[in-house]
A and B are shown apart, each in its own frame.
Chain A
């Protein structure tokens, strides 16, 4: 098994760019996804297979991977983006979530 590390919290001003990193051993060789979870709601996938955005997800959300770090970028962050964000990686025999990052828009 492997672990994924995210910062517990990230703060950003409205309209600015937020970046949330997710690091883990050999992460670069595994498909990475990102989820947004608002309070009291189930998670929603916002990025899958490193950088693919599902239909209905705003273009301001993007994903990238370099080496053993995946990054979620939110361009032009809006107050509605305040939520918890989780990275997740897939291996044939396991799935692993990062610890989650609370994004505060202030």
Chain B
């Protein structure tokens, strides 16, 4: 089955760090660009980071630039998001998403929730 499964979410104190993982199955990760997209409960979608097929080109949204790092291990068919200096505003459900040609998201994971709270 073609799917993405995220893990690594949880509760963390402000200023803390977390690393999210996204494991792909049913397809080769290195055939695709990938992104992380988050959603605050009851709110809209926010793109936060993308990586091209080999990690050689990465991009970040303004709200996470300098704090989050996207990277991938194609040999493990896995995408990661290292999140540092977390704040309460980072509380959300984090999805990984596969990118089709010209940047649309054709496959989404179910997401992993992060709560930043003291």
What distance in Å separates the Cβ of B50 from its nearest Cβ neighbour in chain A? 6
Interface stretch, picked from A9-17, A20-28, A65-73, A87-95, is A87-95
Expressed in whole angstroms, the minimum distance between the Cβ of B51 and any Cβ of chain A is: 12
Known: A42-B109, A42-B111, A93-B59. A48 touches B44 (CB 8 A): no
CA of A43 to CA of B111, assembled, Å: 11
Residues facing B in A24-69 (CB within 8 A) are 31, 33, 35, 37, 42-45, 48-49, 54
Known contacts A35-B105, A48-B104, A95-B47, A42 near B95 by CB under 8 Å: yes
Chain B contact patch, size range: 20 to 34
Min CB distance, A26 to chain B, in Å? 15
Task: Give Cα A91 to B112, complex, Å.
Answer: 26
- B29-79 contacts to A (CB < 8 Å): 35, 37, 44-47, 50, 59, 61-62
User: Given the complex, which residues of A lie within 8 Å of B100, measured CB to CB?
Assistant: 45, 48
Given contacts A42-B110, A43-B108, are A97 and B103 in contact (CB under 8 A)?
Answer: no
Which of B45, B101, B102, B111 is close to A97, meaning CB atoms less than 8 Å apart? B45
Which residue from B61, B104, B105 sits with its C-beta under 8 Å from A49? Answer: B104
Q: Give Cα distance in the complex from A99 to B42, angstroms.
A: 12
- Kindly state the separation between the CA atoms of A88 and B104 in the bound complex, as whole angstroms: 8
18 additional contacts, CB 8 Å, given A31-B103, A42-B109, A91-B103? A1-B62, A31-B102, A31-B104, A37-B45, A42-B111, A48-B100, A86-B44, A88-B47, A90-B102, A93-B59, A94-B47, A94-B61, A95-B103, A97-B44, A97-B47, A99-B44, A100-B44, A100-B45
Which residues on B are within 8 Å of A, measured CB to CB?
35, 37, 44-47, 50, 59, 61-62, 95, 100-106, 108-111
